[in-house]
Structure 1
Amino acid sequence: MRRRNSPRPNELAAELPPISYVWETPNRRPRRAEWDIPDPAAPGRLTPAMRAKLERIVRRAPEVMVKITGRTKDVAHLKSHLAYITRNGELDAETEQGATLASRSGLKDLQQRWEDDAGLDAKRRRDASLSINIILSMPAGTAAVAVKDSARAFAIETFGYNHDYVFVQHLDNKHPHVHLTVRSLGHDGKRLNPRKADLQAWRERFAGELRLRGIAAEATPRRTRGRVRKPDRGAVLALRKRKISPEVDRLAREEVLSEVRGGRAAKHPWDEQIKSRRDVIRRRYLDYAAELQRSEAPADHELARQVRQFVKDMPAVETRRHALKNEISEFASTRRRGADQSVGKEGREKTRGQEPTR
């Protein structure tokens, strides 16, 4: 006999907050996606779109990359960039009209047109860009044709109605990717100025186009996968590659060295915020795993198991400061071990030198 105050299964589901919290980018979404919209008839339940996204996440579908690599400031800069992405005219470029630019002459016409149009923009600042340069990329092993077709569809949907653009696919490394160069000035007279919310929306759109072509792809923020450390900026990576220590590295290393030498750990409010947010995400995953486990369907039980394993495999919270501190502590420990071994060896040699001869 059920106790009167015992909650029924549908009441338990109704108490669950939306699962979409774990894959949202806070305060950065310009619109609601289909998987953000709960089922009003069954709050707390997974809609088909939510379930499909959850399955892709816990099964670790490849993550798309959509990245702004820079902006061209004048026609000479634009010419240099187009020469780079077309390998000096050896690779074909495609425009928003579907036209193929197969030589340097076609690129020259495009450069001249974009420069002339920029001259007609009376509001253009002297340092305003002629174009915004974007890379759309997928991990190694992804079908190159699907990547190119998805990039074309993405560009048409995102920019085709208002901005001229040209794109080129590169296959000279293990990651199939497309270089997309978009004219900054739109036909409506406004300039393209993407924000973080736009980049996330672009990632989701590119991933959606890939899925339409049979490629499992996702576009989740780092926190969805339990990661908190931001990737280093391109300029920082370039300096490290040249064996130059960036200012950000120097300041962080000095702060961490001070902590290690003083035997103390500085407390930062964002560390607690990161930990708190991660705990909420883990709990949200596990709540839905428990809800799936209450189902009678074997497929739900299997998904619940995968969700729990996904949470278990989440990496430890590590920021750049944490990594530096571990690196410095390990280096100090290695030096101490080396010093101890050197002292021990010196002591043994002295002992052997004092042994009486027989």
Structure 2
Amino acid sequence: MSGEGDRDLELPPISYVWRTPVRRPKRARWEIADPVDCRKLTPAMRAKLQRIVGKAPEVMVKITGKTKSVAHLKSHLEYITRNGELAAETEAGAVMDGRHGLRDIQARWADDAELDGSRRRDGPLSHNIILSMPPGTEPIAVKDAVRVFAIEAFGGQHDYVFVQHLDDEHPHVHLTVRSLGYDGRRLNPRKADLATWREQFAGELRLRGVESEATSRRTRGKVRKAERGVVRAIKQRGEQPRVELLAREEIVKGARGGKRSARPWEAKTRERQADIREAYRQQAEELLRSQNAADRELAKQVAQFVADMPEAETKRDDLLKEFAKAIGKSGQALSREDKEREKGPVR
């Protein structure tokens, strides 16, 4: 496979599919090779592969925003607690009920904000995180998993509060973490941190009997990012998002000019997806050679998983197809008009 020049061990083929493009704070269990035979799937690797091909529900951990003033923090806390109607739990395990509890949190964080001389004028007071699971997931398990996740990720380092919302089909929890840590350092999450947080959250859910995974889109054969909430909202209003309008205009201009501008990252994306599919196929072949019936059955599941993967198409590819289809229909209409003219007027 291409793009894997940094291999230091001959690990199982599938391990390269899971490798993230960013450095993480620590290695996950499924990244650690078997001490006897590094080409062999470890129990952690096998379990992860089984969950992926079994299409276990994917967790969502997303930073939804930051608060940059005391007023903004107050507004956000009022929102996640529904103006004090929902209980908020703190890093100390205290449950803050009602408006009185909400005022206690606001006052404590506001005092800390005034004492924080290291914060830039536009620096965040807090990071707002949402942790969510697909519809049908047990809400109690989600909240318990978030509680332990928060302790592991931020306990002893940052103040935080979390509130569960049950008014949406997706059971989710809002977690607000104070940026300034107890040691004076500020929270500055990177992509690597988000990847680790997703794995921690998924692991806590599995400990509570909830099947879940935390894999990247590319691992599942998906190229396109999920549609942004703002874009969905615009479409629901019956309007066309500006970003799509500009993309269509670019495609029309290119067609009129008789050329399609190259997109180097599109070729790179297809190449990477080809590598990923090949890694799955190689892993399936190795499992098929096993004397273990369970391994051979897993090999069939892996092969089917690859067969079911979507085409490696970008949003731009879809727009190009849409444009070609529209041109085709236009050409057919013009052809029918030409035939009618050739027949002449009906007498």
Question: Could you say whether these structures have the same fold, taking a TM-score greater than 0.5 normalized by the shorter chain as the test?
Answer: yes
- Residue 262 of structure 2 aligns to which amino acid in structure 1? K
The change in CA–CA distance for 1:256 and 1:123 in structure 2 (over 3 A counts) is same
Report the CA distance between 1:191 and its aligned residue. 1.0
The 1-side partners of 2:324 and 2:87 are apart by 51
1:73 and 2:68 matched = yes
Which is higher, the Rg of structure 1 or of structure 2?
1
- Alignment counterpart, residue 101 of structure 2, candidates 100, 106, 109: 106
- Residue 191 of structure 1 aligns to which amino acid in structure 2? R
- The answer (yes or no) to whether the contact 2:13–2:280 under 8 Å persists in 1 is no
Correspondences of 1:299-314 after superposition (within 5 Å): 299-314=294-309
The change in CA–CA distance for 1:105 and 1:336 in structure 2 (over 3 A counts) is farther
Structure 1 residues 158-177: Cα deviation after superposition (integer angstroms, max 9, x where no partner): 11211111111111111100
The 2-side partners of 1:32 and 1:309 are apart by 29
- The answer (yes or no) to whether the contact 1:115–1:130 under 8 Å persists in 2 is no
Q: Secondary structure at the match of 1:186?
A: coil
- The answer (yes or no) to whether the contact 2:84–2:101 under 8 Å persists in 1 is no
- Alignment counterpart, residue 110 of structure 2, candidates 115, 132, 138: 115
The 1-side partners of 2:340 and 2:62 are apart by 55
1:179 and 2:174 matched = yes
Aligned to 2:78: 83
- Alignment counterpart, residue 213 of structure 1, candidates 208, 213, 220: 208
1:30 and 2:29 matched = no
1:165 and 2:160 matched = yes
The change in CA–CA distance for 1:189 and 1:239 in structure 2 (over 3 A counts) is farther
The 2-side partners of 1:193 and 1:239 are apart by 31
1:272 and 2:267 matched = yes
Report the CA distance between 1:295 and its aligned residue. 0.9
- Alignment counterpart, residue 187 of structure 2, candidates 171, 175, 192: 192
1:43 and 2:34 matched = no
* Unaligned 5+ runs, structure 2: 1-8
RMSD: 2.2
Aligned to 2:4: none
- Residue 281 of structure 1 aligns to which amino acid in structure 2? I
- The answer (yes or no) to whether the contact 2:22–2:191 under 8 Å persists in 1 is no
- Residue 76 of structure 2 aligns to which amino acid in structure 1? H
Q: Secondary structure at the match of 1:201?
A: helix
Aligned to 2:283: 288
- The answer (yes or no) to whether the contact 1:166–1:182 under 8 Å persists in 2 is yes
Aligned to 2:255: 260
The 2-side partners of 1:260 and 1:149 are apart by 54
Runs of 4+ in 1 over 6 A off after TM superposition: 345-348
Structure 1 residues 45-97: Cα deviation after superposition (integer angstroms, max 9, x where no partner): 10000000000000000000000000111111111111111112111111111
- Alignment counterpart, residue 151 of structure 1, candidates 135, 146, 157: 146
Aligned to 2:5: none
Q: Identity of aligned pairs, percent?
A: 60
Q: Secondary structure at the match of 2:131?
A: strand
Report the CA distance between 1:38 and its aligned residue. 1.1
The change in CA–CA distance for 1:43 and 1:74 in structure 2 (over 3 A counts) is same
Q: Secondary structure at the match of 1:108?
A: helix
The 1-side partners of 2:271 and 2:79 are apart by 45
TM (norm. structure 1) is 0.88
